[in-house]
Structure 1
């Protein structure tokens, strides 16, 4: 039995209404959403809104007073990038199912939105991975530049190369 045109139109209208309601709900959730992140050194806490905009920046425990400008800058960027990456993942989790919804159910994954073209490296697990942050690179550079303390005999300690062998 074939469906009448009226039945097909009614089905399409019901699908359209359900989709509009789901989109409105997702938009409302994301408009109210925020993500908070700390820098690895716990000197900075930031919050971003649903569009990734910076809504709050806090310097914690007065640590900024003893930090070089480049260290503070790296801490701020690290926390902002982490919060933005978390928000990007939240947007994808919320919106992706809607982008693949069809009148007959969910479309295959390949028919969804290419989120990496929208959010770029923010969705990459490596984008905010520990050990690759600007703050960690700065700490490594500072550590490499430090002179090693002299031993009681007046001579320096063994070199880095000797320690690693």
Structure 2
């Protein structure tokens, strides 16, 4: 019986050590991400934006005076496109940083990866984790939910 208790005690020690290592890694990741910014340009190279760590627009530069020959809607489109690309990069960076930290603890039998709904977390700023590893879109989930809902209308249209 003592050997069994020693085995459990060792597993608990390993699980606690893994938890502390993960906590420290998450704190470092949060600190690193809080200080990061992303710089992106529009495809027409007329606009450059800086996106902050929470997806906020932190800087805007009109390059080579190209904006002077653009219509208002063209310029607005360039700004929005560059900002969207920057927000996607920020979201991807967050996912790439935290995904390894959410893996199951190998020292805890039956533990599972922590699942995150990246679409819900980042909203329309990110085109879902599909670029980086799959997942269904919110439209697909809604379609599935509608399909799976029981008909509670009692046969009425």
Q: Is TM > 0.5 for Structure 1 vs Structure 2?
A: yes
- Give deviations 1:78-115, integer Å, cap 9, x for gaps: 0000000111111101011212242538x666x52121
How do 1:112-123 and structure 2 match up within 5 A?
Answer: 112-121=115-124, 122-123=126-127
Could you say which residue in structure 2 is the equivalent of 1:21?
24
Please tell me whether the aligned partners of residues 46 and 80 of structure 1 are also in contact (alpha carbons under 8 angstroms): yes
Unaligned runs of 5+ in 1: 128-165
- Runs (4+) of structure 1 exceeding 2 A deviation are 3-13, 123-127
Judging changes above 3 Å, is the alpha-carbon distance between structure 1 residues 95 and 125 closer, same or farther for their aligned structure 2 residues?
closer
Task: Let me know the Cα RMSD of the aligned residues.
Answer: 2.6
How do 1:82-101 and structure 2 match up within 5 A?
Answer: 82-101=85-104
58, 61, 67: which is aligned to 2:61?
58
- Give deviations 1:38-92, integer Å, cap 9, x for gaps: 1111110001122111111100111111211111111100000000011111110
1:40 aligns with 2:53: no
Unaligned runs of 5+ in 2: 132-157
How do 1:118-133 and structure 2 match up within 5 A?
Answer: 118-121=121-124, 122-124=126-128
Q: What TM-score results when the alignment is normalised by the length of structure 2?
A: 0.68
CA–CA distance in structure 2, aligned partners of residues 80 and 108 of structure 1: 35
Deviation, structure 1 residue 16: 2.2
CA–CA distance in structure 1, aligned partners of residues 51 and 42 of structure 2: 14
